């Protein structure tokens, strides 16, 4: 299988107790994810998407967590466990250029709290998969 989406996974702490998520203005709570461009390696795409969607530019990929078949529009996601070289704030807003400019509200979701109805259904599934991989 060849992935066509990259999903950087970032935890706040070494104990994997809080994962980076954002609230999309119209599509619920999500993880960062985006299209792997032609000729781009999944790890490079993950770092690019993390930079574009969250503003985080000092990240690195620590390990490949494998693939997740989303069951949506033939999307196969490459999951990349990432870390940053410096601490990040508790929450922040980053403006992306997607769809004419969107303000994405980032925060750290406690992994022991199940996703609720505010989560986009697709991201509920990948969150469980990620937690099973860690």
- 104 and 54 in contact (C-beta within 8 Å)? yes
pTM: 0.95
Q: What is the pLDDT of residues 65-112, one digit of tens each?
A: 999 999 999 999 999 999 999 999 999 999 998 778 999 999 999 999
Is the pLDDT reported for residue 134 higher than 90? no
CATH architecture of 5-133: Alpha-Beta Complex (3.90)
**Within a 10 A sphere around the Cβ of 128, how many other Cβ atoms?**
13
In b/e form, how buried is each residue of 70-84, taking b as 16+ CB within 10 angstroms?
beeeebebbbbbbee
From residue 2, alpha-carbon distances to 5, 47, 65, 68 in Å are 9, 18, 14, 11
Q: Kindly list the domain boundaries of the chain, sorted by start residue.
A: 5-133
DSSP assignment of 23-34 equals EETTTEEE---E
Q: Which residues are CB-contacts of 19 (< 8 A; sequence separation ≥ 6)?
A: 9, 10, 11, 12, 31, 108, 109, 111, 127, 130
């Amino acid at each position: 299988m060849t992935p066509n989406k990259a999903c950087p996974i970032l935890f706040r702490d070494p104990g994997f107790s809080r994962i980076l998520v954002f609230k999309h203005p119209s599509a619920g709570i999500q993880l960062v994810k985006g299209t792997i461009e032609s000729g781009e390696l999944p790890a490079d795409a993950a770092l690019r998407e993390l930079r574009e969607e969250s503003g985080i530019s000092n990240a690195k990929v620590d390990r490949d967590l494998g693939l997740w078949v989303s069951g949506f529009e033939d999307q196969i996601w490459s999951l990349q466990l990432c870390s940053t070289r410096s601490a990040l704030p508790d929450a922040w807003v980053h403006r992306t250029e997607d769809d004419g400019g969107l303000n994405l509200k980032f925060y750290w979701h406690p992994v022991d709290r199940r996703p609720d109805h505010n989560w986009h259904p697709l991201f509920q599934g990948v969150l469980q998969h990620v937690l099973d991989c860690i």
